[in-house]
Structure 1
């Protein structure tokens, strides 16, 4: 058994790292993270400089033991391939310092006016993030001895709580704004594809309250109070729930009129608060690509396969399909597949979380669409709408992390890298980068010590109760937060290793 596991691991390792697809995705991931980390840390840097706070270091990528390049404008010094030294520096009075920069810092007068030239800019070798070392901030970049010294005017800790709060949320703000800018840029450069209401030939799915008043899954809405419905968007949905009558196409040929109850809008709003949408596009189950070493790959499913039944039960939509997988989790079940012009049956193992492991094809690829183009003025509100909707959707999905299935789906850089396409596609790249920017903003604002949200929480407590948390409390909280993040990352990386190399 152990030999079999080792052989399987080595085979998957060679297959994964030896493929061109891996290196393309890795390059896309590194480029995307570089942009996101730079913009995030720039947010902290900008607000610190606005408030006259000295920034000691600004680094893209981490630099444990080795720095690829560093530059300090104040001293006109730059260097390549610099190894870190653990040796402490002592001055003539016997005071110990971490490095020459800290020694120089100690000599600066309290009223010193810090500039951008005081910062050391650098490039690390570990592309897992970056950092902005802000003078006088209680974090992992500051020595305990330094924070015991008298507070100086240019330090973070000398500033009012509201200024420190702005410095801490600067990174999150930048990431969210970056997402809005990218979404606006995408619709400006490429336009936006829409599926006209009548072109969604598989129809739509409706909420329980919609079923009660006469809608049937598969219906295609045609008009609301006689006005034609063009696309499924917020405007069309509002028109339907506020109308007196909605006309739908049923079974591809029958026209049915549905009477909408008075004040039905309030019922729909209540359902939406509970996470149920009044109407959703009915998405056929079409495979885009399979995930390594999971049931879909083992069943030899291919790009373009249309899955129409699970264990003999028809699956006209993805929602019905996922429900059937959950009902058969941990089993090997027959799938009915339409492949090209043929209908075939394949046996596929469903894992214990009710997953087959494939990426669903975008409905735009198999429904006839039209492209809407935006000018430079129109793209701004559209970009904002797309970014806000994506953020709200992601925040709502966070609750799933606390389920067994959600915990099993957690991943690190392997899972993130797998989001990118196998072939370089700039539109897809920027779309994923915008999504990751929102994820980075949301995750960083979580109230966990060591993350931006942890500092924000402490600052809000200080503002409300007008008392700073003690240095001892802050250090203990940061250590706990650091270990929590390390353990969480270890778990996520373990999931990636198991998912891509072992399973």
Structure 2
């Protein structure tokens, strides 16, 4: 049931984005009286699931859910149909239109993607606001994992800025640190600026919960006993852990560190109970856990729930769109950094489906988290806009590049060059898709997905 809901969300999101992206090409093409032969959601090699011709255009749904396309007469595209290009150009063909009209047609898809993200983010800001973990409320600083320490952080640091820019939200900061060069923290009362060690970034990216290398520091107060071993230990709800094996551990991250060092062992835990300190022996499981639930009230104290008026939501939606776009651009730096080897963490459709957000009810029921769905759709819309603008033949950016060349030089790129470039681009993109799918399949068998 869960995988079905996640798959439905993915297909729905992709369908919305593809249809609107292709409309961005379709509408200006029609406006400039250019013949559009096909408008398809998903690709249709050999056959289509549904098709119907209306006027001069065939509308349909393909069976290969990797995107979609509009086939514009007189244009070298991924269909590689060059027969009509051997004939003299007709007034209704793409190649017969002025360069500025062709440029508008090609930029229509990414323009729609950008504005769609802006609209979605503005609506989310207006109707849902933004809930985030506020770094300015981290009175005890941050707790960091061993991977975080390799990056240069120390437990107790208070993050001030990343690459010279002030930070407020943990959710953004934890990603921007991975993409950044240096960070400034308040450490023992002094400002310290240090470079972000890429070996530590690579270590963080290997973890399934990569964003959790930084957490707020708060005392560990037991809220529930979840395992038979924890119930037998004598620990009780409300106990505040203050030391493990005689080592003071005033904060949860320090308790976690000691527990990870004592997997499968029995440890002595000092707790405060009703104002008195008591000691209990407890078993640590093979994963470094005590089998207890931790009081989350301290976490709630560092959360900010920000609301926006209509006038504030629109500019905030624009800011969120730019933030998402900037994040996509920065991620390329991680992918091609030899020390980080971020390309190993690239996920394809299978990984995306697996990570689609859902709501889980107390009775075990699963439903769609619509706010998270629309947030994902907005982010993915920005991603599609950025990806399509990369100047690779086969993508919108490749067509834009050739058109700009024509506008600057004053003459079009030779037809044969366009055809060969398109063929190379299509082969490259197909190869990239195979690599990404192969990576997903490998991770499934390796237990990393």
Report the counterpart of residue 438 of structure 2 in structure 1. 494
1:188 aligns with 2:122: no
1:219–1:249 Cα contact (<8 Å) kept: yes
1:430 aligns with 2:374: yes
Report the counterpart of residue 230 of structure 2 in structure 1. none
Change over 3 Å in CA distance of 1:365–1:176 after alignment to 2: farther
Q: Secondary structure at the match of 2:51?
A: strand
1:153 aligns with 2:91: yes
How far apart, CA to CA, are the structure 1 residues paired with 2:12 and 2:352? 13
Alignment of structure 1 residues 357-396 onto 2, 5 Å:
367-396=301-330
Report the counterpart of residue 353 of structure 2 in structure 1. 417
TM-score, structure 1 length as denominator?
Answer: 0.59
How far apart, CA to CA, are the structure 2 residues paired with 1:486 and 1:167? 24
1:25–1:417 Cα contact (<8 Å) kept: yes
TM-score, structure 2 length as denominator?
Answer: 0.65
- String of CA shifts for 1:317-375, please: whole Å, max 9, x gaps: 99xx9xx9xxxxxxxx85879xxx98946469xxxxxxxxxxxxxx9965542322222
Report the counterpart of residue 411 of structure 2 in structure 1. 467
- String of CA shifts for 1:429-459, please: whole Å, max 9, x gaps: 1111111111111111111111111111111
Report the counterpart of residue 167 of structure 1 in structure 2. 105
Q: Secondary structure at the match of 2:90?
A: coil
Stretches of structure 2 that go unaligned for 5 or more consecutive residues are: 144-152, 161-165, 174-184, 197-210, 218-246, 265-270, 272-281, 289-296, 360-367
Q: Secondary structure at the match of 2:310?
A: coil
How far apart, CA to CA, are the structure 2 residues paired with 1:123 and 1:51? 25
Stretches of structure 1 that go unaligned for 5 or more consecutive residues are: 1-19, 75-117, 206-214, 223-229, 238-247, 261-266, 273-279, 287-311, 325-332, 349-362
Q: RMSD in angstroms over aligned alpha carbons? A: 4.3
- String of CA shifts for 1:66-109, please: whole Å, max 9, x gaps: 222222232xxxxxxxxxxxxxxxxxxxxxxxxxxxxxxxxxxx
How far apart, CA to CA, are the structure 1 residues paired with 2:283 and 2:396? 53
Change over 3 Å in CA distance of 1:23–1:376 after alignment to 2: same
- Displacement of 1:477 after TM fit? 0.8
- Displacement of 1:410 after TM fit? 2.1
Change over 3 Å in CA distance of 1:250–1:172 after alignment to 2: same
2:80–2:419 Cα contact (<8 Å) kept: no
> 2:45 aligned to 64, 77, 83, which one?
64
- String of CA shifts for 1:169-199, please: whole Å, max 9, x gaps: 1111111111111111111111112445553
Q: Secondary structure at the match of 2:91?
A: coil
1:441 aligns with 2:385: yes
1:25–1:418 Cα contact (<8 Å) kept: yes
Report the counterpart of residue 398 of structure 1 in structure 2. 332
1:197–1:231 Cα contact (<8 Å) kept: yes
